[in-house]
Amino acid sequence: MEEELLFRVIIVGDSGVGKSCLLLRFSENTFNEQHTVTIGVEFGTKLVKINNQQVKLQIWDTAGQESFRSITRSFYRRADGVLLVYDVNSKESFEGLSYWLGEIRQHATSDIVIFLVGNQVDLTESENSREVSQDDANAYKNFHNLCGFKETSALSGFNVNETFHEFTNILYERWN
């Protein structure tokens, strides 16, 4: 029997950027209007096919609240990759990335793979509310040696599958 490949991925970023919605869109292809506060850490599992091989992604969705940060930290150590999420309509959430990067650098293994995601891109068209340009995000990605960057919409589903597939591909190449 072929050995099953399992990657553990953790989703981090400020509260409200859409981490839980991204996971819901990817794992169940649905969207939740409500902002349901994530308690501690929740997870979803999804199979992704890479090079004709089944890869299991175990995705941990974290809560941003201060009181859960010590729980979150214990998950960094076991993670293979991190999805680092901000909201393209919130400069504050983009500036908040440095906190999360600090946490990752401090608590995860040094070879962890980090993928940058700018979510809620649907709003930039309907409400012209963009506060973070793609150029700035790309510069950030390059400066901090992150493995990839994509803009997504958990609402419409835009780029969500693409993001997880590209990320899984990178994990596969790195760890297989």
Q: Record the tokens describing residue 139, joined without a space.
A: 């510069």
Q: Does 38 bind ligand GDP (CB under 6 A)?
A: yes
For residue 119, state whether it binds ligand GDP (rule: CB under 6 A): yes
117 vs 171, beta carbon nearer ligand GDP: 117
Nearest Cα residue to 115 out of 88, 145, 148: 148
For residue 107, give both structure tokens: 């608590």
Binding-residue pattern over the window 16 to 45 for Mg ion, x denoting contact by CB under 5 A: ---xx-----------------x-------
Which has the closest alpha carbon to 54: 62, 65, 64, 46? 46
DSSP label at 50? E
Nearer to ligand GDP, 119 or 168 (CB): 119
- Binding to ligand GDP by residue 21, rule CB under 6 A? yes
- Work out how close the CB of 83 gets to ligand GDP at its nearest, in angstroms, rounded to a whole number: 11
**Cβ-based neighbours of 65, under 8 Å, separated by 6 or more:** 15, 37
Say if CB 78 and CB 107 are below 8 A apart: no
- Tell me: does residue 122 bind ligand GDP (CB under 6 A): yes
- Footprint (CB under 6 A) of ligand GDP, residues 150-169: 153-155
